[in-house]
């Protein structure tokens, strides 16, 4: 599902770029008013209405596919290309072996002398 949606999204992105680049600027008709040559393909009124509607439709499809791709990727949650943070920290900090003579039930030798317990 997400692969098909990604392909549609990329196609819509390319179409949106092409349609925006095909449109002429807003000030292009001003030159035609003073006798300049026009480069209109769709007649004297131009294709402004057609291109505006097509751009709006493609932009809406682009936004919908963006939201759907975001929703799908948020649902996956566990899948990621990054390593878990705990695994990175374990590799970054080497484990230090216990000092000799300190087993599971033994205390580490202290450099401080033992203090007697206060008497009541």
For 15-25, write each residue's pLDDT tens digit. Answer: 999 999 988 77
Gap between the Cα atoms of 86 and 96, Å rounded: 17
Q: If you search the block for the tokens 């004297």, which residue do you land on?
A: 44
Interatomic CA distance for residues 86 and 10, integer angstroms: 35
Kindly state whether residue 109 falls inside one of the protein's structural domains: no
Domain that includes residue 12, residue range: 1-18+48-74
Percent of the chain exceeding pLDDT 90 equals 31
Q: Is residue 94 part of a domain?
A: no
pLDDT tens for 6-55 read: 999 999 999 999 999 988 776 655 555 555 555 555 555 555 688 889 99
Q: Is residue 11 part of a domain?
A: yes
Answer whether residue 100 is part of any domain: no
Tell me which DSSP letter residue 63 carries: H
The answer to whether residue 108 sits within a structural domain is no
Task: For residue 34, tell me if it sits in a domain.
Answer: no
């Amino acid at each position: 599902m997400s692969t098909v949606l990604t392909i549609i999204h990329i196609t819509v992105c390319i179409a949106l770029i092409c349609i925006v680049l095909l449109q002429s600027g807003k000030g292009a008709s001003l030159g035609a008013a003073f006798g300049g040559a026009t480069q209109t393909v769709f007649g004297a009124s131009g294709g402004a209405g057609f291109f505006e509607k097509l751009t709006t439709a493609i932009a809406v499809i682009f936004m919908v596919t963006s939201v759907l791709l975001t929703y799908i990727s948020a649902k996956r949650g566990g899948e990621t290309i990054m390593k878990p943070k705990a695994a990175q920290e374990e590799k970054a900090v080497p484990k230090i072996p216990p000092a000799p003579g300190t087993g599971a039930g033994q205390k580490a030798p202290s450099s401080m002398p033992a203090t007697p317990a206060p008497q009541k």
